[in-house]
Amino acid sequence: MAWEWRFEKADGSTTEPSQAPGDFGTQGDAESWIGEIWQDLLDEGVDQVTLLEDGAKVYGPMSLHAASET
């Protein structure tokens, strides 16, 4: 199983961060990573992310903006 994030603009179009993380071995690894790096992604222009497992959507899009900003 490969877990990965799809990085998106607010309109749903895909974008890539300056350093793509690649695939994760577990959902927990992927979620821990996003929890540590989300602010950097937001600063780079990523507005939302979607979690994929082997290419299938698990959940998302999940906004990286604070609730008061949406």
Tokens of 48: 């939302």
pLDDT at 69: 53
The model's pTM: 0.90
Contact predicate 32/68, CB 8 Å: no
- The DSSP symbol for 61 reads E
> What sections of the chain are H helices per DSSP?
27-43
Q: Which of 14, 18, 11 is nearest to 52 (CA)?
A: 14
Produce one character per residue of 51-66: b if its CB has 16 or more CB atoms within 10 Å, e if not.
bbeeeeeeeebebbee
Would you say residue 67 has pLDDT above 80?
A: no
Residue 68 has pLDDT above 70, yes or no: no
